[in-house]
Amino acid sequence: MSKSVVIIGGGVVGLCSAYYLQKEGCKVTVIDKSPMNAGASYVNAGYLTPSHIIPMAAPGMITTGLRYMFNSSSPFYMKPRLDPNFIKWAWNFKKSATQKNVDLAIPVIKEVNVLSRELFTAIKNSGDLGSFHLERKGLLMLYQTDKERDHELIVSEKAKFLGLEVKELDKEGISRVEPNININAKGAIHYECDGHSTPSEFMARMKAYLENIGVHLIKNQEVTDVIMNYKKPCEVKTLTSSYDADEIVLAAGSWSGKLAKKLGLKLSIEAGKGYRINVQKETNIKMPAILMEAKMAVTPMKGFTRFAGTMEFSGINHDIRKERVNAIAKGAVDFYDGLSISAEDKNNAQCGLRPVTPDGLPYIGKSKKHKNLTIATGHAMMGWSLGPVTGKLISELICDKDLVMDITPFDPERRF
């Protein structure tokens, strides 16, 4: 029997969930408070990253955050504030940031990222969305100092052990893979296992496809209440409408914690703000890269080059801090000879809020309290990369299918 499903959240996770649920015969409605044309799913670096095997909650991160707390242009910024939820989240983050937890998370992160990378390819090969930008050139981890090189070599050895394709490049090696621009780097770790895409293009094509096959995309409606009832249809209320459903998916990103409270659930999430600058003119950059000292990402996308980065914990807001935008621009110019980022490019910078859990792993799974509620949020910087696999897992959970992987580490009600 087909199910009626309401998905709260129209980002990449919500849309991918709708994509796979409709393939199982479900009647799907997606509700979002925005026009579904901005936010983290549109301003991210577009990476498909099996190489990003280290969770954000790693040893030393809290110390780094405290060191940068009063430097609002730093790559990792925690705005001082007396917010009980943030203080509790930060304490749980500190408790989670142990080598033991990192070691347990590494193979899980690798597996879920590889699965999602292959699902991106399967979506493209299906022809459902038409042709869209998706490449497998890998990712360069560019370094200027021995300190960053030595740090990344440790990560690369773990990646190799897990079967990921990795090479070490010297300066000449960098020139061979990126011949049209001089890069101020001593060397790079080339994660050949990675891919990249253009998020805005993928999202536009996914929305068009979903609407064409009958998925209802409800824009500009904020969910104000959710009424759960296991024996009868659930009800999702907005300011102007009400929607009944057999199943509800909570995929509201950084806003998920607020909605979870209405359902009597404790979902620890903090909004981690990231920024992006798009440069429309030709940059001659052809390879995606992480600039390690600058702690930022560079992605050649369809029609432009994106420079993105920073992690800012300052609550739920879309305020643009110019000093953080300038830091991204400076980091890029320091690595690429002849690159210029105009004042207009910087003035057009945008930001997005990434939902971050205390241990750096997403929440994916059924609620124990509400059997017809499924949670899909908390992906932090891996949201884009994990969109398809999360959507696939959500469809399998709701439609009682065998899961493509063990999701125990993603339990939404796990303890920290």
What SS3 state is found at 44? Answer: coil
Place of tokens 């643009």: 320
Tally of domains in the chain? 1
**240 in a domain, yes or no?**
yes
pTM of the model: 0.96
> What's residue 1's pLDDT?
62
pLDDT, one tens digit per residue, over 157-195 is: 999 999 999 999 999 999 999 999 999 999 999 999 999
Q: What percent of the chain has pLDDT over 90?
A: 91
**41 in a domain, yes or no?**
yes
Place of tokens 């983050």: 93
pLDDT, one tens digit per residue, over 243-300 is: 999 999 999 999 999 999 999 999 999 999 999 999 999 999 999 999 999 999 999 9
Q: What CATH number is associated with residue 339?
A: 3.50.50.60
The Cα-based distances of 348 to 204, 278, 279, 391 in angstroms read 20, 8, 10, 31
Contact 324, 77 (CB under 8 A): yes
**415 in a domain, yes or no?**
no
Task: Give the pair of three-digit tokens for residue 227.
Answer: 């009424």
**403 in a domain, yes or no?**
yes
pLDDT category of residue 70 using cuts at 50, 70 and 90: low
**132 in a domain, yes or no?**
yes
Distance of alpha carbon 61 from alpha carbon 365, whole angstroms: 27
pLDDT, one tens digit per residue, over 211-221 is: 999 999 999 99
Place of tokens 């253009």: 198
Residue-number span of the structural domain to which 309 is assigned: 4-410
**304 in a domain, yes or no?**
yes
Indicate the helix (H) or strand (E) that contains 191: strand 187-191
> What's residue 80's pLDDT?
79
